[in-house]
Structures are given as structure tokens and as C-alpha cells.
Amino acid sequence: MNEESEFVAHEPCPNCGSSDANSVYSDGHKFCFSCHTYTPAEGDHTYTQMTNERVQFLGSAEQLHKRRISESTNAFYRIYRYGNTLRFPYYNDNGQVVGFKIKSKKKDFHYEGGKTDQLFGQHLFPTSGKRIVITEGELDAASCYEVMSGWPMVSLPHGAASAKKDLQKAIPFLQGYQEIVLFFDNDEAGRTATELASGILPSGRVKVARLENYKDASDALQAGDSDSIRKAIWDAKPYRPDGIIDGKNLLNVVTEPTKACDHKYPYEGMNDMLHGIRYGELITITAGTGSGKTSFVRDLACHLCKLGETVGILELESNTRRTALGLMSSAVGKALHIGEHETEELTEAFDATLANWNVFLFDGFGSFDPDVIYNRIEYLASGLECRVIFLDHLSILLSGLDGDERRMIDSTMTRLRSLVERTGITLFLVSHLRRSNSDSNSHEEGGRVSLGQLRGSHSISQISDSVIALERDQQSEDSNNTSTLRVLKNRYSGEVGVATRLTYDLASCKFYEADETKTTPVFDASTDF
């Protein structure tokens, strides 16, 4: 073994099967900190592995001047100097020494003797008490004990890489302590180990100690800064997993001035009930087949484009020509996507609309790989700075997936929600309804829409901030172009019910609001706002 060798990487161990405990060194030798198997470098014929043979103490306890660890502390842990090495004893549950981790001056480690599930130093302390400190390495534990003599100070046997696995085995011992302080290295490996280990230790008892200016306790003691070690342990903070925030720290968040909305809807009744359009919300629009969902979405998109908003549109059942002509039609009040029109007329409409708008369309008709769609939405939001995006529609997106429909919808809605949270966009999502069991009350004949009729209703309704339904009797002789706009969910204010009624004019491709039909909103506190 070359004492000049340095640690290079972790890799799986072929002996015990550990995924990352096998350490590779620059001279080619390997040592597994899980099963303690030593693999020599090529040409090196020395070999040390786990064994049940009798082991013995070699050397003696001496003061480690550079590390500022006294002879008495080393004698307490029985850390012995033997030649150019330090020997750290490990014990079994019966208090018998079973092996030694051996460290050279060049920070090279190997192990001799048998395997144990105990932490370093565990045999020295009672099985219950107020507080125990767990460090990443043996010398860190000794450094802490040097500063705070009498306190239970132990260390991981195999470093940060195996922290979770080693502490799982030590839970029967640790659960007797009121506080378990994790004092790992101040680096990425130490922080990762803290997160992994904290999740499996007794809930509510874990605290985390951090050094501001040093990698670990040993470095701090070598620098003569014992006060920083005491402070880190005394000031250890209760472990709080990511995503948990103390309400006392939210002053700046809750006092930041807010706007009622970022944009108004083009229909007064919708604004009265939904209080406008806000960034960071997922809004689902639903209706029966042929009830005007796409036309309604295009009208909303056209409205936002006119306001100067940067808009992204993914119509998965339409090519870009039809989508573009539909937007132009709504803007100029003429059905340009129906019948024959001269090039000059279309050019004038284009110059008045798309040429001056910040709008981006998805040219992917017939290609519905979900990952591609997520990627394009992400690009529209982050790359092109679209603040409002329309996705029409959910069922087509699911057509590229295999498996149980409900689970696919759950997964898709979760991914879309995460995308909204991450980018801060407003996402309008078109979703279909389940087919009605009654022809007389079908959605295509004006049947009332409820949340329970959404396909995969639980995830769609739960994850959406608002759910808006269009109800229209397509067979009515008098009002087959009039839709009732019903709010099924409204997380912002809780107001639900009929918001307004809209009449679609085929000639102008526009929706017109009938003011006299508006009703008083109903407040429903059960809508999870």
C-alpha cells in the first residue's frame, strides 16, 4: 500500500454489494468501509480483509500535538499510535474489541479484524441520556470530547457515504437519547449525509450542528478554536426537512405588496367571480365535445395578446395554420379559417395581429410524446418568457402514454403543477369530461357539469387553482350558440356557480357577454382555497 495515495472515488463493492462504500485510491488499492475488505493495487501482494481472528491493541495512547488532542482523550477512546499509524478500536455489542481501523499519516485507511454494527466510541457511553453527538470521523469525535469532556461523542464507522445505513443499525442505541446531534463535515457530502440520516432517526429528536469557518471539528481544534466547537453543539438547530418553513420567518413574504390580479378576463362576469387572471395558477377549462372549448381558449389568448402579454399556445389537435387563423379571426372579427379569402385580406389581418403580438405556437401536430410537450412548455416559459400558456388538450397528451388512465392523469397533473410552480406561469389546460350515462342530460345537450364528471376528476380538480366549465345545448333551436360559464372550483376566493353567459357569433368568431343573465356568486368554503 502506498502511503502517498489519495482518495479518488466511491464505487460498488463486489464483496458485500454496497453501492458506494468501496473507496478507490490513486495508487489503485481499494477499501470497502462497509464490509472492511481491502483490495490491493496491482503488483501489491499485501491483503487485509474482514476476519474473525483474535485482534490485539498495539502501540499506546499519546498526545497528538498537531491535532491538539490530549493523551487522556486518546486513552479514553484507546486511540493508539503504532509506528506511523493511528489505530481506532471497534467493539461488538458485548463490549469486546473486534477490529481496528488503521490510519496512516497520509490519510490512507485500512481495516483489520471483524465486522461490527457499532458506532465508534459507542461502547463507552450509556444507552440513554440527554444528548449525544455523532461526527463523521473518529478524530472529529475525539476533538469534540477534548473540548467537552464527559459528553457522549461518537462517530460514523464508514464516513458520510454510509451514514444512513450505519445509523439505521444504531437506532436501538440512539433512541434512548433525548437529542441526537449530527455534526458532520461542512461540505456537500456532509450535508447530503445529514439529510439522509435525519430522515430515519427518531422524529423530533434530531439536531444539526454546523461550523461556519471549518470543514469539521478536527480542523477547528487544530486551529485552536475550541469555542466554535462548543458553540456549534450548544446552538445545534432542530432538523427541519426541506420545504418546512418557520412562520416567524415569513414577514417579508406576507408583507410584500400584491396585486388583485395580473390581467382581467374579457368578460365581466368571470372577473366578478374569479377576480382576474394571476400568474402562478393552473386553470382547467372543460366542456362537452363540440361545446366551444377551443374557440373560448383562442378568444382568451387573443385578449391577452392584445394586452401585450407574451403567450404560448399548444393546440395538439390543430396545425399551426388553423390555430393562427383562429386567433386572427377572433381579433379582426371575421371567420378567416372558414371559406375562401384573398391573400391581401389575410395579409392585412396578419399585420394587424400576429405580426405585432408576442405569441408562440407549437408546431407538433400528430406528435404527442409527453416529454416533448413538457420540454416545449418549459422552453416557452423559460426560454421565450411566455407568462401565459394554453395547452389544448389533456387527453391528447395522455395518448402518448401506456398504462392505467387514472394514474397517468395523476402523474401528468402533478408534472404540470410542478412546472407552473417552478416557472411562475399561468397555465390554461383544456380537459374533457366523462361521457354522460344519460342521453337526455348529456353535456352536448346542455347538461350541468360537475367536478365529478372530469376525467380523472380527483387529480384535475385537486391540483387546479380554478376549474371553469362551459355548458351549451347544441341541439337547442333558440340558443344553440349560447353557453353558460360555470365556475366549479375557485381556490382564490371560494366563489363558485354561474359566472356569466356567453353567446358565440359565428360570423365574427367572438364571444359576447349577456349582462342581464349574470347571477350572484355563491361562496363555497369547501373548495380548498
Identify whether residues 311 and 432 lie together within a single domain.
yes
Identify whether residues 428 and 302 lie together within a single domain.
yes
Identify whether residues 430 and 496 lie together within a single domain.
yes
Q: Which pLDDT does position 337 carry in this prediction? A: 80
Q: Which pLDDT does position 45 carry in this prediction? A: 37
Residue 85 lies in a domain: yes
Q: Quick count: other Cβ atoms within 10 Å of Cβ 415?
A: 15
Retrieve residue 22's grid coordinates.
468501496
Strand bridging mode 109-113 / 97-104: antiparallel
Residue 394 lies in a domain: yes
- pTM attached to this predicted model: 0.58
CATH number, domain of 190, equals 3.40.1360.10
Q: Which pLDDT does position 264 carry in this prediction? A: 95
Residue 245 lies in a domain: no
Distance CA 502, CA 517 (A): 9
Q: Which pLDDT does position 304 carry in this prediction? A: 97
Residues paired with residue 238 on neighbouring β-strands, in sequence order: 207
Say how many domains are in the chain. 2
Asked if residues 423 and 378 have their Cβ atoms less than 8 Å apart, the reply is yes
Q: What range defines the domain where residue 462 resides?
A: 279-523
DSSP structure class, residue 373: H
For 371-380, which contacts have Cβ atoms below 8 Å and span 24 or more sequence positions? Answer: 373/314, 373/316, 373/397, 374/415, 374/419, 376/314, 377/312, 377/314, 377/416, 377/419, 377/427, 378/419, 378/423, 380/312
Q: Which pLDDT does position 51 carry in this prediction? A: 38
CATH number, domain of 384, equals 3.40.50.300
Residue ending a domain, choose from 218, 238, 258: 238
Residue ending a domain, choose from 211, 238, 265: 238
Residue 263 lies in a domain: no
DSSP codes, 87-120 = EEEEE-TTS-EEEEEEEETTS-EEEEE----PPB
To 5 degrees, how large is the angle CA 323–CA 325–CA 326?
A: 65
Strand bridging mode 482-490 / 388-392: unpaired
Identify whether residues 153 and 214 lie together within a single domain.
yes
Identify whether residues 390 and 483 lie together within a single domain.
yes
With cell 471483524, the residue in question is 114
**Cis link prior to 393 (omega < 30° from 0)?**
yes
Q: Which pLDDT does position 40 carry in this prediction? A: 61
Residue 360 lies in a domain: yes
Residue 25 lies in a domain: no
Residue ending a domain, choose from 212, 238, 264: 238
Q: What is the mean pLDDT of each run of 10 residues along the chain (529 residues)?
A: 56 68 71 60 44 72 95 96 94 92 83 90 94 96 96 94 93 94 94 91 91 94 96 92 77 81 94 95 90 90 96 91 92 87 93 96 76 90 95 79 77 91 95 69 74 81 94 77 92 94 88 62 46
Identify whether residues 453 and 348 lie together within a single domain.
yes
Residue 16 lies in a domain: no
Identify whether residues 514 and 415 lie together within a single domain.
yes
Residue 406 lies in a domain: yes
Identify whether residues 351 and 462 lie together within a single domain.
yes
Q: Which pLDDT does position 35 carry in this prediction? A: 54
To 5 degrees, how large is the angle CA 91–CA 92–CA 97?
A: 40
